[in-house]
Amino acid sequence: EVQLVESGGGVVRPGGSLRLSCAASGFTFDDYGMSWVRQAPGRGLEWVSTINWNGGSTGYADAVKGRFTISRDSAKNSVYLQMNSLRAEDTALYHCARGTPYTRFDPWGQGALVTVSS
Amino acid sequence: QSALTQPPSASGSPGQSVAISCTGTSSDVGAYNYVSWYQQHPGKAPKLMIYEVTKRPSGVPDRFSGSKSGNTASLTVSGLQAEDEADYYCSSYAGSNMGVFGGGTKLTVL
């Protein structure tokens, strides 16, 4: 069974940093690109970032470019999202998803909640 | 990176058909056949329903179908059932390793 499990969420002050992790299992991790998609409370889905199968290509939403960095570790079957200079508007449930915008997001993890508040 | 445009709400009675539109631009929906649709029930993770405009993953009922014309994609749900009541989101590739989602449509089964 394909599983994606996020961790690393929490409460952080504006300007702070947080690193999300997503542990993948049940499929050949190196065959797939991976993505992060967030959902602010009561709001819709927002694509955040994508990394291709070998980590050689990445993409970021304008809202996070220069502040967030996506990476992956094939030895640990994991993808990460380093979030710096966090703002209140980054408060959201962050989902990890297998796939990219040019394939499909399937499946999704249950998400890690990030709250940016003073 | 502007969000794709979806109607906030749609509704239909059991057994009826309903279509949800997703309008983008010539740089995203109109440029690529990488439009996908996701169903999200309250408190749950999104679920893939349609990918590459018209393809249906295994396990998704054939009551769900997708299409595209120009800059607008559509999801049609035929033979509405109570369990179809959910939020639906479209997504498109926007070039340069970027993606974009629609604002979401709340589907109500009357």
Q: What is the pLDDT of residues A19-29, one digit of tens each?
A: 999 999 999 99
Average pLDDT in chain B: 97
A80, A73 in Cβ contact below 8 A? yes
Beta-carbon separation of A106 and B1 below 8 A: no
A111, A93 in Cβ contact below 8 A? yes
Q: Which of B101, B106, B107 to mutate to test the interface with A (most CBs of A within 10 A)?
A: B101
pLDDT of B87 > 90? The answer is yes
Coil, strand or helix at A89 = helix
pLDDT of B1 > 90? The answer is no
pLDDT of B57 > 90? The answer is yes
Determine the Cα–Cα distance for residues A30 and A115; give it in Å rounded to an integer: 31
